[in-house]
Copies of this chain bind each other. A is one copy, B any other.
Amino acid sequence: MHIHLQNPAGETLFTFDRAMWDAAVARAGGNPDEHRVTIGTTPEDFEAAMPTMEAVITDTGTIRGMFGRPAPALKLVFITSAGLDRLAPWDWLPPGAVLMNNRGTHAGKIGEFGLMALLMLANRIPRMVTNQRAGVWREIWGNVLTGRPVTIVGLGTLGSAVAGHAARFGMTVTGIRANPAPHPDCVRVLGIEALDSVLPATEFLVLAAPLTDATRNLMDRRRLNLLPTHACVLNIGRGGLIDQDAICDMLDAGRLSGAVLDVFTPEPIPEGHRLWTTRNLIISPHTSADDPNTYNPRSLDIFLENLSAWQNGRPLPNRFDTARGY
């Protein structure tokens, strides 16, 4: 099988190389000579692989270089992101090819980021940083996490990883997801239609859902105003899940305790945008889920698990459902 790995042009931190591939094959107990593996960086490299590649591994930005070009042998498309909303509509996908996302890669890193953010909000770091920026010493007291209510919207890899840490620190975790099946780290899991009813008793709101037609602008101004005034917000899903102007207004007015946001509309945040000066807000530049030390090796492990499933006629764990959007 011809497997092509296309690195993003100009990227230096998150790149695949042959040694990384060989190490992943060795971890999976495979034969390093089983497949023909090519690794590209330039658009010409990508184009040279297209006629024969049967599997491609690349990122959301780079896959666009394939749009409208023939890749007649292509059967497996593995994208190294979890959220593929930026690739819709899906008409670029060759007929019969299976699309996979990178669900699962982010668990370790995003779990630690999520726990960090919950602790930062509990310790009121956003407010401390706002005072620091103003050059003002003011005592701000935080509290421990145990017993405090957190609502996590989305229980995929990201939301589950955060739920696990939150539960281990004694928080009372409510999960919200499309299919409200029980979750081991949640005291209850409710459908998205129940969100309005849980917001008034939510102290920590974590947004970890994919961006779909069902979740776009989910936290609009009305819903944000259902939160109590001491509530705080963490968004590690997509900027489009929230009415960004509404949360900026509320943070500036002291209507919320604080926020940690990793995702925005648009990205990058433009120079001079009001987000840069919003009070009681910590801005992380959409890097919460990715650890350069572990990201690509873990991605290859996940790809090889899916390849093995495909070769053995089993369902692919990372198959992306274009109809539902995750």
Contacts and interface: CB of A to CB of B under 8 A. Distances in A.
A285 B140 contact: yes
A128 B285 contact: yes
A52 B273 CA distance: 64
A294 interface: yes
Interface residues of A, number: 50
Q: Which of A144, A146, A269 has the most chain B CB atoms closer than 10 A to its own CB?
A: A144
A284 interface: yes
A142 interface: yes
Interface string A284-323: 1111101111100000000000000000000000000000
Contacts of A86: none
Interface string A128-162: 11011101111111111110000000000000000
Give the most central of A122, A135, A292: most B CB within 10 Å: A135
A46 interface: no
Contacts of A290: 141
Contacts of A272: 135
Where chain A touches its partner, the secondary structure class is loop
A131 B133 CA distance: 12
B291 A112 contact: no
Contacts of A120: 116, 120, 125
A132 B283 contact: yes
B109 A139 contact: no
15 contacts: A112-B119, A112-B122, A112-B145, A116-B119, A120-B120, A123-B284, A125-B284, A129-B282, A131-B285, A137-B269, A137-B285, A138-B285, A139-B285, A141-B287, A143-B294
Nearest 5 CB-CB pairings of A with B: A116-B119, A137-B268, A135-B276, A132-B283, A143-B291
Given A132-B276, A133-B133, A144-B291, 6 more contacts: A109-B142, A123-B288, A128-B283, A136-B271, A143-B291, A144-B293
